[in-house]
A = this chain, B = another copy of it.
């Protein structure tokens, strides 16, 4: 999906919810959408400020949940203090697992098609309706532990 089309989708989402399409919100969108990797709120702030230097940290934090709700972004919480975000260009967020390397500190996104099936099955037995599911694998780097280096390490 092109950024123009995606931006329009975001505008519609805002309208539908009677939220305003402010220049800051759009700057944050424009900063987030092209990112190919995971990023933090702080990194997003930096990028957004290059587009519109009036953007404040508070607005980034207030906008992130909106971007997540409109499924432009996926929130990735690996339990490390800060949350990560990832552009969601495909649209489906319930079938993706994360593999987090404790050595590289890198996050891989992997398709896990059985996840939503599992969520529905288990939830219905409890009288619940699934909202979403997260599957995360923590792992360590073989090459790092053998050679002391890892090609992916920063």
Contact = CB atoms under 8 A, between A and B. Distances in A.
Contacts of A132: 137-138
Nearest to A104: B128
A118 B112 contact: yes
A37 interface: no
Interface of A: 77, 79, 83, 97, 99, 101-102, 108, 110, 112, 114-115, 118-119, 122-123, 126-143
A140 B126 CA distance: 10
A129 to B, nearest CB: 5
Given A77-B79, A97-B122, A122-B110, A133 B135 contact: yes
A99 B123 contact: yes
Interface of A is mostly: strand
A154 B26 CA distance: 41
A101 B122 CA distance: 12
Contact of A142 (B127, B139, B143): B127
A141 B129 CA distance: 6
A140 B128 CA distance: 5
A140 B77 CA distance: 20
A143 to B, nearest CB: 6
